[in-house]
Amino acid sequence: MRRTFAIGVLSSVIALVVSLIGTAPTLADTTDPDAPSSGPGPGETLRVTVHHYAVERPGGKVRERVDMRLGAPADVTVGVHGEAGKLVRGQVELGTLGRGLHSWTWTGHKNDGTSVPDGRYRVYVSATFKRSGALWSWAPLVRVHRRYHPGSVTSTYSTIYPRSTVVHDVTTLANRPPVWNRPTLRIRNGAGRVVFARAYRRFRPSLSLKWDGRDSHGRALPAGAYEVTVSGVDKDGFTGTSRPRTVTVSGKRLVLRTRTLRTDPTAYRMLDYPRGCNGCPEYPQCGELVASQRFADPGATSYRSGSGCGTRQGQWVARTQHLFRVTEVAPRGYGDVTVSMFGGPTTPGAADQGTLTVRSGDTFINTPTGADTTDHTVTAAPVPLSTGFDNFDEEYVPGFNWSFSTREGASFDVASFTLKYTFLTPRV
């Protein structure tokens, strides 16, 4: 009797479920097939596979096959875009494709039939699925490669001096092609004979070699013009050679020269403050520059700082600023510069001081005259000679700056400055 009751209950439940199923609306009944969904439906997937390189072998053509695997029927379009995002091929309407694997081949041409230049391209594949209206897109990268790209040869110096003894003169020869290759560098004389060569067995992204103007046996080459080329083979088997780069080998030697120049405080001035503190006419009491009564040297100057200005305009209130341009032939640049000053307090024995400042590029050296109350020489520490700051127009020129200034209430006389700098130059 219990079994009969259980069977009856189960039959009632089944009947209820069947009744509900028969009256409930289906997905097809409630969804507009033409309305796009918020996302792909079950199984609506897209995968795109391409080769990273589309290579045209000698005698062959570029044929980049684009494989598209669809999880459900979809309308598919394909387009190829260049590096700047510009469409170069397409849009190609492939129509409605069913579930499974499909392929499209790009031959490396534009819409007008001309070949695209070597470079990177993106293949955009878009699939709009038929059932849900969802859109899937892929944009894999393809590099078109048809020929060898040698790049250019660069040299840090156009002339080198292999006979120099104070310096081992070298120039850096470099080559950076757009793709990895296995390069060989060759240097030829005027007759076309190879005098130096360096081959590399492994593929590399670039080449950099220091060359000292000598042949493969370490002997200094005769003076003259030499041509540098880099040939190679890339990973796809393409070969080629760069355009030649000319480097001159000099028969002269680089020698170290030192120039010493004595000058007066009125020479090479680029800025001074004769009317007062920082040249401001509203503060005439701050200081003045007058001819020295203590030193008979031409241009000797007395830097006389007034009082009552220091708290407003700064510590140093009477000053001259100078710029010296170097003009010597120095193909490897210049060495160090040292500036010295000879002078003393305007009133002998007074404690008044001044400061000598040397600037070369971004380097500043401040040297006070010190506690010595007698006439004496002050020498700033050497600084690398690079470029000087040319007044207010922010022009940088080969040279250096120096200035002399006094602080509020001090008065100091300068008889002369001495400039000493070194440079490498070819021996005449």
Q: Write the CATH number for 379.
A: 2.60.120.260
Q: Does residue 213 surpass a pLDDT of 50? A: yes
Q: Does residue 184 surpass a pLDDT of 70? A: yes
- 201 and 131 together in one domain: no
- How confident is the model over 107-122, as a mean pLDDT? 89
Q: Are 414 and 346 in contact (CB under 8 A)?
A: no
What pLDDT does 15 receive?
A: 41
Q: Are 142 and 51 in contact (CB under 8 A)?
A: yes
Total tally of structural domains belonging to the chain: 3
Select, from the ranges 16-30, 40-54, 254-268, 323-337, the one with the highest average predicted confidence (pLDDT).
Answer: 254-268
Q: Residue 248 falls within a domain, yes or no?
A: yes
What pLDDT does 56 receive?
A: 61
Q: Does residue 231 surpass a pLDDT of 70? A: yes
Q: What is the CATH number of the domain that holds 119?
A: 2.60.40.4070
- 317 and 234 together in one domain: no
What pLDDT does 357 receive?
A: 93
Q: Does residue 151 surpass a pLDDT of 90? A: yes
Stronger pLDDT, 188 or 406, i.e. the higher one: 188
- Domain end marker among 121, 145, 169: 145
Q: Residue 67 falls within a domain, yes or no?
A: yes
Total count of residues recorded for the chain = 428
Contacts of 91 (CB under 8 A, 6+ apart): 77, 78, 79
Question: Within the chain, how many helices (H) and strands (E) appear?
Answer: 3, 31
Q: Residue 361 falls within a domain, yes or no?
A: yes
- 217 and 266 together in one domain: no
- 270 and 230 together in one domain: no
Stronger pLDDT, 2 or 130, i.e. the higher one: 130
Q: What is the CATH number of the domain that holds 209?
A: 2.60.40.2550
Q: Residue 335 falls within a domain, yes or no?
A: yes
- 414 and 326 together in one domain: yes
End-to-end CA distance of the chain: 130
- How confident is the model over 390-417, as a mean pLDDT? 79
- 165 and 118 together in one domain: no
- 90 and 205 together in one domain: no
- 303 and 412 together in one domain: yes
Q: Residue 31 falls within a domain, yes or no?
A: no
Q: Does residue 3 surpass a pLDDT of 50? A: no
- How confident is the model over 137-151, as a mean pLDDT? 88
Query: 350 falls in which pLDDT band (50, 70, 90)?
Result: very high
Q: Residue 36 falls within a domain, yes or no?
A: no
pLDDT-above-90 percentage for the chain: 57
Q: Which of these ranges, 14-18, 69-73, 91-95, 123-127, has the smallest mean pLDDT? A: 14-18
Q: Residue 169 falls within a domain, yes or no?
A: yes
What pLDDT does 309 receive?
A: 57
Query: 240 falls in which pLDDT band (50, 70, 90)?
Result: very high
- Domain end marker among 145, 180, 195: 145
- 246 and 262 together in one domain: no
- 140 and 161 together in one domain: no
Contacts of 15 (CB under 8 A, 6+ apart): none
- Domain end marker among 111, 145, 179: 145
Stronger pLDDT, 387 or 42, i.e. the higher one: 42
Contacts of 105 (CB under 8 A, 6+ apart): 63, 64, 65, 66
Q: What is the 3-state secondary structure (H, E, C) of 199-254?
A: ECCCCECCEEEEECCECCCCCECCCEEEEEEEEEEECCCCEEECCCEEEEECCCCE
- 132 and 182 together in one domain: no
* 3-state percent breakdown (helix, strand, coil) of the chain, nearest 5: 10, 50, 40
Q: Mean pLDDT in the chain?
A: 82
Q: Residue 300 falls within a domain, yes or no?
A: yes
- How confident is the model over 14-18, as a mean pLDDT? 36
Query: Which tokens is 33 given?
Result: 């097939």
List the domain range (segments joined by +) for residue 120.
46-145
What pLDDT does 400 receive?
A: 86
Q: Which of these ranges, 96-105, 323-332, 393-402, has the smallest mean pLDDT? A: 393-402
- 160 and 286 together in one domain: no
Contacts of 226 (CB under 8 A, 6+ apart): 187, 188, 189, 190, 195, 246, 247, 248, 249
pLDDT-above-70 percentage for the chain: 79
ω into 91 cis (within 30 of 0): yes
Stronger pLDDT, 60 or 236, i.e. the higher one: 236
